[in-house]
Every structure is written in structure tokens, then in C-alpha cells.
Amino acid sequence: MSKGYIEFFSSNPKYRRLWAASVISLLGEWFNTIALFLLILQYSGSQFLLGILFAVRMFLFGISQPINGLLADRLNRKSLMFWSNVLQIGLALSFLLVDGEEDMWWLISISGLMMLLHGVYVTAERAAVPNIVEEEDLITANAIGSASWSTALCMGAMLGGIVVSEWGTDAAFIIDSLTFLLSAIILIPLTIEQKVDESMKGPLFGTAIKNIKIGWNRIYNDKRLLRIVFAKSSWNLGGAGLAGVFLVLAGADITGYGAAFGFGLFFFARGIGTGIGPLIARSVFKDKNKWPSLIGILVSVSGIFYLFVGLTLDYYLPLTVLLIIISHSASGGNWVLSTVLTQSWVEDEVRGRVFSMDMLILGTSAALSTTTAGYLVEYHNLSLQTGFISFSIVMILCGIIFTLWRPDNHSQMS
């Protein structure tokens, strides 16, 4: 039986340390993101570059995942997280050199490189959680992790908006670098035991393709797992464009507030939602056998409430914030249920490679969605309201398709 939140958190010091390192790193990440939004709009005024920023970040996050998964199954997972943080300290400080439109591609490239390193961290962390948490407590650990990610998003985005408004973008980048430093220090005493398969031994590059293929075969040969690795991307095809482009532009367009505060407000609402969703999912969806069916439904529910955002965008600001919270509550439920199922079904020796494929598909779908959204706004004058409505319809349809697609049922029948 799964422990309560307080009992679990107080009885697992390894998880507490892993949790603290992740939350502190993420808090600075959102300071960073709000500042990047502002610099792009301030120096270039280009909505397309906003889409490109997210596309580059998510593409590099995704395309590197097969190697990240290989590393997470072959090398010490704590070390991967530690060095990911250390390398990002200097990259965060390099944003201080940005001072004009000609530096936009530099800004986007460095941000993409940081997301690549973040991908190393995330894959290693997700693979490591079952090493330090009992299986019956995975839903609790992931609910805490998702809620904490959301809290970091809420606080980081809102405080980032305030800090950037009052003291400028340089302050946000300095704070970001300090959070990576503190996160790395917290990780130093952590020990994580993991199993390394015999097939992982030998030259890294010489055995890379073979071992990456083992991860894909583990997914493809288990049809229930094959379906679940598409859970997050089914939301991202519509949701990444909504959250990464249209939500940013809507925040910049709030009358009477600065753009940085507007970004922070809507990302604060997004964070509240993704924090509430996993907690509700843990409390309400007790039957694990029903989770595979619920995941697609949650995607469509998220899309329905984003559709309401588009229909009421200029009506009443508090209503818009509430609808964003509800939509991302559904997406948070999708995220945590699919993550826990993957952690439960997959063996330690290959878990990193399986999660890497999950993240590869997620990153590719997000890059496609944000690039398309930015392009349509910049070159086809797509309005905010039309953008919210059309991309939310895409999300609703993706949720329906995912719900109806059950290759696991076909494999059982055969």
C-alpha cells in the first residue's frame, strides 16, 4: 500500500535530496525562460523566433535522448545529473553577453544546448527514481515530483517576471547560474545503486547502436508500453504550441501590465494546474488497470478547456487564468500516470533507454507544434484567439485517437 505524502517524504532521505536538487535547478530554469521571452520580443519583436526558441530547445532535448538513455543505463545516474548542472552554470552566465537583435541566434543556440543538458538530467532522474523508491510508492513520488515541478514553474515564472521587471534580465541569469551550482552541491552526497546489464559493457561508441536498439525493441515488443510512450506527445502536438507560443503572446498582450509580468502570470497558472493534476490523479484514480484508458481522455479534457480559453480570451482575465489551471491539471494527470506506468513496467537495466525514447517522441512533437504555431502567427497573421481554438481542437482529436488506439488489446487477442 502506498504511503501518505508526509510519511513517504520523511522516511526517504535519498528521495528528499534528489527532490531538493531538482526543484532548485528548475526554479532557476523558469527565471531563465521568462528573461529569454522578454529579450526575444524586446530585441526582435518576432513571434516566429519564440516558436523557434521552443522548437530548438525541444528538438535538441528530444534528438539527444537515445544517447541520454544509453548513458543513464551505462553510467552512474547521479554523476550525469551532477555534471549536467555544473556545465549549465557557465552557459546561464553567457546570456549576460546578449545585447542586440544580432545575438538572437546565439541566445537560441545556448538555450538549446542547456535544454540538451537538461535532457541528460531528466532521463537520468526518471530512471533513478525506482532505484530509491519502492514500487508501491512510485505514484506518490511522481505526484510529489510533478507538483514540485509545477511549484518551481509557478514561483520561478512569477518571481522571474517580477525580477526581470524590477532589475532586468541579467539578474535572472545570475540567479539561474546560482541555482545550478546549489543543485550540484546538494547532489554530491547522494548514492544511487543501479543494475548495469552485461550488454552495456565494452566501448561506448562501438556498442551504442546495438544498445539503443535493445531499448527500442523493449518498447516495440510490449504493445502496452509502445502505446504509453506516445502519451505525452499526444498532448504536445497541440499543447506545446498553445503553452509555448500562444500563452506567451497572450501574456505579453495583457492590458495594463508589463510583458514580463504577463508571462509570469500565465505560466504561474500553468504551474498551478500541472501541480494539482498529479495530486488529484493519485487520489481519484485508484485502479491502476484503468490508467491506460484514462490517459487519452485527460488529453482531450485539457484540449476542451484550452478551447474555452480561446473562446473567452478577451472576456475576463481571472476566468482565463482559471481555465488554464484546469487544462493543465488534466495534462499533469496524463504526465504522471504515463510516467508511473513506464517506471513500473520496465526493468532497471533498460529503463533509461525506454524513457529516452519517450522523451525523443515528446521533444519531436513539441518542436513541430511550436514551430508551426510561431510560423502561422508571424507569416500568416494567425490571431491569438484563432490559434488557441485551432490548436486546442488538434489536442482534443489527439486525445480521441490515443484513446481509440489500443495495440495492446490486439496483441492479447492474437
The pLDDT tens digits for 361-392 are 888 898 899 889 988 988 888 999 999 999 99
Residue 83 reports pLDDT greater than 50? yes
Considering only residues 299 and 315, tell me which one the structure prediction assigns the higher pLDDT.
299
**pLDDT 10s digits, 322-343:** 999 999 999 988 988 998 899 8
Q: What are the residue boundaries of the structural domains of the chain, listed by start?
A: 5-413
Band of pLDDT at residue 234, cut at 50, 70 and 90: very high
Contact 119, 68 (CB under 8 A): yes
Computed from CA positions of residues 260, 262, 268, 271, in that sequence, does the dihedral angle turn out positive or negative?
negative
Average pLDDT over the chain, rounded to an integer: 84
pTM assigned to the model: 0.75
**Res 373: pLDDT:** 92
Q: Average pLDDT of 183-203?
A: 79
Residue 413: pLDDT above 50? no
Q: How many CB atoms lie within 10 A of CB 145?
A: 22
Show the cell assigned to 200.
Answer: 552495456
Q: How far apart are CA 371 and CA 366, in angstroms?
A: 8
Q: Which range, 233-242, 245-254, 269-278, 356-365, has the best average confidence (pLDDT)?
A: 233-242
Confidence of residue 207 (pLDDT cuts 50, 70, 90): low
Q: Which CATH architecture has domain 5-413?
A: Up-down Bundle (1.20)
- Cα atoms in the Cβ-side hemisphere of radius 13 Å centred on 106: 14
Cell digits of residue 239: 499543447
| Helical H segments across 44-137, by residue range | 47-63, 65-74, 77-94, 104-132
229 secondary structure, DSSP code: T
Indicate whether 414 pLDDT > 50: no
Within 10 A of 197 (CB to CB), how many other CB atoms are there?
15
Select from 66, 332, 74 the least CA-distant residue to 219. Answer: 66
With beta carbons less than 8 A apart as the criterion, state whether 132 and 192 touch. yes
Q: 408 pLDDT exceeds 90?
A: no
pLDDT of residue 412: 53
Please report the pLDDT score of residue 357 as a whole number: 83
Residue 411 has pLDDT above 70, yes or no: no
